[in-house]
Amino acid sequence: MKNGRFVVGLVGVALVVSYLMWTGVSETMVYYLTPTELLAKVESDPSFRDMGVKVSGRVVPGTYQRVEGELLHSFMVRDLTDESSTFPVEYRNALPDTFSDEVEVVLEGRLRPDGVFEANTLLTKCGSRYEASPEELAG
Amino acid sequence: MTILGEFALWIALPLTVWGMVMGFVGGRTQRGDLVLSAERSIYASSFALTLASAGVVAAFLGDRFEYWYVANYSNANLELFYKITGLWAGQRGSLLFWALILSYFSCIAVFSNRRRNREFMPYVAGVLQTVMFFFVVVLLFADVNPFERLAFTPADGRGLNPQLQNYWMTIHPPTLYLGFTAFTIPFAFAVSALLSGRLDARWIQLTRRWILLSWFFLSIGIVFGMRWAYEELGWGGYWFWDPVENASLLPWLTATAFLHSIQIQENRGMLKIWNMSLVALTFLLTIFATFLTRSGLIESVHSFAQELRIAYIFLGFMAFILGASVVLILYRRESLRSDNQIESFVSRESAFLFNNLILLGAAFAVFWGTIFPLVAEGVTGQAVSVGPPFFNRVNIPIGLFLLFLTGVGPVIAWRRASKRNLQKNFQWPVLVGWGVAAVLWILGARHPLALTTWGIGAFVLTVIGVEFYKGTRARARIEGEGSFRAFFHLVSRNRRRWGGYIVHVAMVMIFMGFAGSAYNVDERRNVQPGETIQVASPFGHTYDLTYEGLSVVANRGQRNLDFQMLALVTVARDGRVLDRLTTEKRRYVTSDPGQLMTEVGIRSSFYEDLYLILAAVDDPEGALANDPDAQGIDLQVLVKPLVGWIWFGTLILAIGSLVAMWPSADRRRMAQEARATAPADPVAVGAD
């Protein structure tokens, strides 16, 4: 067939792209959990600690500390709804400007055996919309 | 003025409905008077949207904080410039601004075709007014009316988000919108071709420059956003694979595919269905991009619920466009048969087809990565996340293969490339590509992906360089011109082709710039005044960065700025003092008292950027009081090789697209002659 080679080529490209996508998702995907879910998972299955996860929670006011000279930031994070689920976080990088007490943060990293969450990335969740409801404007 | 603007927005609604109905009915019944009315409704709705936008700007300038939108994006002290650009600072204004640009483009399309191509115009007008109608409906009925008033008047607005108070951020969104909306015109012509049955390559010829214009604005709009991230977000990156960024990349990928595949239709009469599908898909993705950027849907399913109405209106419109396009293409599938078949695996058609397939593959991968978290959460109930590792993993190989095709496409023969053709065109470039990679390897560059990129880049540059050289030499010999003159004439005689090559050169530069990030250097330390950080550049030299101390500047002219705390750093390279850089923390009067914004210090050169970040100040209160013992800071130093090539490459890309878009001298003359001889003949003029 005249177009045989051609079809093979096209199918080949499609297969390679699918393969890249498939392995890409399965190898880079991480769970996106709340602190409560993370603590529960680790409790029921300690090997879960070794997996990287993404967690969103709120910074507990007054817990932020900067370890001078070590470029280390530490603070406590609590669940957005269940205030009793908290754990300490350590982060070694420049903090985003919007980081502050009570801000909602999205962390990627893993929970160490000592119970400290070691974050590799930290994003704050706000700013992108930067809008207030009428009630907030009134206050 | 603002009341008038609000009123004008309401007037735009019946105007667009009228134009929509008249366009389609006029096309169906072949009644010129109805079509004329449809076209006039476009001018009228454009005027109404101008008034509406002027109303919003007036509300900003007049500090009318009783308007929700103004209260949220301005304050009394905001600089004039940002009050004017407030029109597109937030979601509500953006949607209005979008409709405004679309209406201007529509006016241009209708006006420039008022005497010619009349067979397309009824449906073109109808489609344009349909899209406009959709945006007016969103503005009025989706809880995003920029004229919404609060029940009370706040004393002052909340001010503009400090991160948006940046030059690049004010031009980035409108540039993207120009790109998105310009693509509506080719889409309208394509639909018109389908409805009227005029299915040759005419609609493509007529809209080729619109397609290029859209692509041009999309490209530079995306890069403006990268530049903003690079300067403002303060971590030295320029691309996050954030859903909003992905949303703007998607139509760019499909538009790039379309730009190539239309050449196959024009030259060989193939891929007609494919091109129709691509134009519809790209248009759909421009709407999808607006939807994503301006609805916050993707962040989580939960935010979806808050924006229910706008989401449903957008999804409904996208479903309608998708359905209508599929039905129309299927309806005309017999007339959309290919005139020819692909003859050989090794041919330009084949290279272009692979280019298309790969671009679409990349678009699909990006799309999938963007919506996967939503799908996964919807199906399994478990939230997951895919991030940069996924996108890099998939897109780097795809990008490299595309880069390779950038060098193959321009010189491989149409129909069937002979062994001779291949050998003649590719022997030297392949050797140069391997040679460059080998030399870089010897010089110590060992990163496999970066080496591959630079090797392929050298291959592509050689292919294109040889083409330019051969063309110029041939012309110089035949016409007896000097080489500079010959080069200029060569390009101007076939702007489309050579403009395209210039864009290819630009893409090579941009890719080489991306590859430079494999050699980024990142050093951070806590320093006291007088201390020096030594940083080795991958190019072999060493920077000595001496921290001089903090300098506090209170409110320096910029009215919304409370104070700036500048860290002064002296930069020496190999012992010789070059420059003095500052990186700062600043506070805006509108921010929370504790929130300091970081401004980075950048020293750019052609081959690398030195990028300083004031990561933290040990004792901000003490530093503000100029306490000499409170000067310690965390300083982060990045060396970013070749990052400037991305920006410089974009400049070349802009030049190349402009060359390709510019009407050629022949066409201009033809158009003039045609106008002079037959002003009323609707189809005599070939130029667009």
Q: Do A25 and B398 touch (CB under 8 A)?
A: no
Q: Do B361 and A14 touch (CB under 8 A)?
A: yes
Residues from chain A contacting residue B390 (CB–CB below 8 Å): 24-25, 28-29
The pTM (predicted TM-score) of the whole model is 0.90
pLDDT per residue over A47-84, tens digit each?
A: 777 778 888 888 998 889 888 777 889 999 998 888 88
How far apart are the CA of A68 and the nearest CA of chain B, in angstroms? Answer: 7
Dihedral pair phi/psi, residue B615, rounded to 5°: -70, -40
Q: Do A71 and B372 touch (CB under 8 A)?
A: no
DSSP tag of A60: P
HEC secondary structure over B70-119: HHHHCCCCCCHHHHHHHHHCCHHHHHHHHHHHHHHHHHHHHHHCCCCCCC
Helix, strand, coil share (%) of chain B residues, nearest 5:
65, 10, 25
- Closest residue in A to B345 (Cα) is A6
Tracing tokens 């959309």 back to the chain, one arrives at B336
Tracing tokens 């002290």 back to the chain, one arrives at B77
Which pLDDT band, with edges at 50, 70 and 90, does B67 fall under? very high
Helix, strand, coil share (%) of chain A residues, nearest 5:
30, 30, 35
Q: What integer pLDDT is reported at residue B329 of this predicted model?
A: 92
pLDDT per residue over B408-427, tens digit each?
A: 888 777 777 677 777 788 88
Instruction: Name the residue facing A97 among B365, B368, B595 (closest C-beta).
Output: B595
Q: Which residue has the higher pLDDT, B84 or A133?
A: B84
| B448-479 vs B388-408: helix crossing angle, rounded to 10 | 30
- DSSP characters for B204-249? HHHHHHHHHHHHHHHHHHHHHHHHHHHHHSSSS-S----HHHHHHH
Q: Do B383 and A134 touch (CB under 8 A)?
A: no
Rounded CA separation B301/B486 (Å): 60
Instruction: Name the residue facing B393 among A24, A33, A97 (closest C-beta).
Output: A24
The rounded Cα B186 to chain-centroid distance in angstroms is 17
Instruction: Identify whether the C-beta of residue B298 lies closer than 8 Å to the C-beta of residue B289.
Output: no
* B255 pLDDT more than 90: yes
Dihedral pair phi/psi, residue B619, rounded to 5°: -140, 85
The ipTM estimated for the assembled molecules is 0.85
* A92 pLDDT more than 50: yes
Rounded CA separation B71/B80 (Å): 15
* B190 pLDDT more than 90: yes
Instruction: Name the residue facing B390 among A17, A28, A134 (closest C-beta).
Output: A28
The answer to which of A57-61, A95-99, B127-131, B590-594 has the lowest mean pLDDT is: B590-594
Could you give the angle at the alpha carbon of B597 between the alpha carbons of B595 and B602, nearest 5°?
165
Instruction: Name the residue facing A137 among B154, B357, B594 (closest C-beta).
Output: B154
The residues with which B264 forms a beta bridge, in sequence order, are: none
The rounded Cα A61 to chain-centroid distance in angstroms is 20
- Closest residue in B to A65 (Cα) is B618
Mutate to test the interface with A, among B301, B390, B611 (most CBs of A within 10 A): B390
Instruction: Name the residue facing A6 among B350, B384, B398 (closest C-beta).
Output: B350
Mutate to test the interface with B, among A1, A97, A103, A106 (most CBs of B within 10 A): A97
SS3 B258: helix
Which pLDDT band, with edges at 50, 70 and 90, does A13 fall under? confident
Find the mean pLDDT for residues B27-40.
Answer: 90
Residues from chain A contacting residue B383 (CB–CB below 8 Å): 31-33
How far apart are the CA of A114 and the nearest CA of chain B, in angstroms? Answer: 25
Rounded CA separation B435/B456 (Å): 11
Residues from chain B contacting residue A108 (CB–CB below 8 Å): 385, 387
Q: Do A127 and B152 touch (CB under 8 A)?
A: no
Rounded CA separation B613/B548 (Å): 15
* B666 pLDDT more than 70: no
Rounded CA separation B571/B235 (Å): 20
Rounded CA separation B193/B199 (Å): 6
Q: Do A28 and B393 touch (CB under 8 A)?
A: yes
Rounded CA separation B87/B54 (Å): 9
Could you give the angle at the alpha carbon of B300 between the alpha carbons of B294 and B301, nearest 5°?
100
* A28 pLDDT more than 90: no
Sign of CA dihedral B104, B105, B106, B111: positive
Q: Do B616 and A69 touch (CB under 8 A)?
A: no
DSSP tag of B600: -
Q: What integer pLDDT is reported at residue B451 of this predicted model?
A: 92
How far apart are the CA of B211 and the nearest CA of chain A, in angstroms? Answer: 26
- DSSP characters for B122-164? HHHHHHHHHHHHHHHHHHHHSS--TTPBPSS--SS-----GGG
How far apart are the CA of B425 and the nearest CA of chain A, in angstroms? Answer: 22
How far apart are the CA of B232 and the nearest CA of chain A, in angstroms? Answer: 10
Residues from chain A contacting residue B373 (CB–CB below 8 Å): 32
Q: Do A27 and B393 touch (CB under 8 A)?
A: yes
Mutate to test the interface with B, among A3, A7, A32, A34 (most CBs of B within 10 A): A32
Rounded CA separation B370/B248 (Å): 12
Instruction: Name the residue facing B386 among A20, A28, A33 (closest C-beta).
Output: A28
Instruction: Name the residue facing B613 among A29, A94, A125 (closest C-beta).
Output: A94
Task: Count how many pairs of residues, chain A against chain B, have C-beta atoms within 8 Å.
Answer: 141
Q: What integer pLDDT is reported at residue A14 of this predicted model?
A: 85
